Structure 1
Amino acid sequence: MSRKTIVVTGANKGIGMEICKQLAKLDHDVVLTARNRNKGLQAVNEIGSNVSFVELDVSNKESIEKFADRMKKRSDSIDVLINNAGIGVGKAGLSDANVSEIKEIMETNFYGPMQLNALLLPLLLKSAEGRIINMSSGMGAYDDLEGGYAGYRLSKAGLNAQTILLANEIKGTGVKVNAMCPGWVRTDMGGAEADRPVSKGAETAVWLATVKKIPNAKFLRDKKVIPW
């Protein structure tokens, strides 16, 4: 397995940090990003070798542009981008939703990946096996759009649509774009009652980032394609 340069957003804790840990153990060059510099550096120190920190706030256009410029100076190419950063504020349904709250969620969960994908695509296109992995959720699946959490559900449904659109737009370039659901994972967002450890939640992302043959324009959980 060749050594890959892999960017993981929102990775100072939870699933993102676990993805970085597993990839670093496989001897890949991992770029861990987070909004908070101190927390990001702390995560890097905990993981140890094969990982470096670059500050990035995916809800901020200037931060995204600055990060992209830094990556272009750091390397001629990127092999994998894992859009893991996400927030899940608010339990309200659409009928009583706070529009400002939904906009806040969309900035991180939808617009952030969209802008980052566009700016890093030139580097991904230079990779022999470029890949974009969008961390979505079963809560954004079209057959499960009920039960509140409207902002989070809409953001993930939108991310799923974005995945298909970009994959089809760049079909034939060699860069593959997929979305994945980690399942209900014991993190700050998932809560202590969740049925999966972070190691399981990270598993599909690591698999998509590293195995030789993967699908394109698909939604996956546990390394298997699931319905959108």
Structure 2
Amino acid sequence: MKTVLITGANKSIGFETARQLLQQGYYVFLGSRDMQKGQQAVSQLQAEGLNQVEPIEIDVDDSKSIKAAREELGQKIDTLDVLINNAGISGTMPQTSLETDITVFKQVFDTNFFGVIEVTQAFIDLMKNSPEPRIVNVTSGLGSLTLHNDPSWKHYQVKPISYVASKAALNAYTIVLAYDLRDTSFKVNAVDPGYTATDFNNHSGPGTVPDAAARVVKAAVLRPDGPTGQFFSDDNVPETGISPW
């Protein structure tokens, strides 16, 4: 049975991603920075008959928490097949380049960028034991520098700077991580789940959570001949699913 760790999985897209992977036969470690909320999420899935799941406490902003989660997981399994870096924050709004306080930048980067790096580095040894390891970094179409320079793009005027910058940095990390693992069986990709109605955006997005999670799951279950080092987003080019960086 393949195993997967999903950060920020106690609600919204992360939770639905866990549900869909459970339905495909994966064993899910449902990451949550609040253990009580994580257990509640697990109980809900188990009530649906999805029993191959357990909570794991992990706060991606906290190095000690990440280390403790790695030690806990290492006591349970020798191999981690999939890592989904899903946890993320938008930061206090509004955000402009000249007026956003530096503390907002630091908070957003701690979660959306530095947290991803630290989690990936912490669990990479378990992933190297997998014959088909997959890393999925949940990003945003707002992380595309190319699209932000295109006045015809439908989100051209949406530029919350700390969030945009953190996701652009995450995209860059994805490219280099895929390159560094190019001679292995790893598949490393960035996935934009789309503008989805969740607590993250006060349910303002037009997309549905199941559709968003399905995009993440698609990258998590890639076959050996699947792509790596790509930025998938149905928001921009649905015919290919590949978005410009």
- Which residue does the alignment assign to 1:104? 107
Distance 2:63 2:79 in 1: 22
Distance 2:99 2:41 in 1: 38
Distance 1:89 1:226 in 2: 24
Letter in structure 1 aligned against 2:17: I
Q: What value does the CA root-mean-square deviation take over the aligned residues?
A: 1.3
Distance 1:193 1:122 in 2: 39
Gaps of 5+ in 2: 149-156, 235-239
Deviation by residue 1:179-210 (Cα, 9 ceiling, x = unmatched): 01001001001332311110011011111112
Q: What percentage of aligned pairs have identical amino acids?
A: 35
Q: Cα offset for 1:54?
A: 0.4
Gaps of 5+ in 1: none
Structure 1 residues 14-53: aligned runs within 5 Å: 14-48=12-46, 49-53=51-55
Asked if 1:113 is matched to 2:116, the reply is yes
Distance 2:88 2:203 in 1: 18
- Max radius of gyration: which structure? 2
Distance 1:192 1:226 in 2: 24
1:173 to 184, 198, 206: 184
Letter in structure 2 aligned against 1:116: V
Mapped contact 2:7–2:30 kept (Cα < 8 A)? yes
Q: TM-score, normalised by structure 2?
A: 0.89
Asked if 1:225 is matched to 2:236, the reply is no
Structure 1 residues 129-140: aligned runs within 5 Å: 129-140=132-143
- Which residue does the alignment assign to 2:89? 87
Q: Cα offset for 1:23?
A: 0.8
Mapped contact 1:185–1:191 kept (Cα < 8 A)? no
Deviation by residue 1:66-106 (Cα, 9 ceiling, x = unmatched): 11112222111100000000000122111111100110010
Of stretches 12-21 and 215-224 in structure 1, the one that deviates more from structure 2 is 215-224
Q: How many positions carry a matched residue from both structures?
A: 226
Deviation by residue 1:93-146 (Cα, 9 ceiling, x = unmatched): 111111001100100100011011111111111101001000000011112446
3-state SS, counterpart of residue 68 of structure 1: helix
Q: TM-score, normalised by structure 1?
A: 0.95
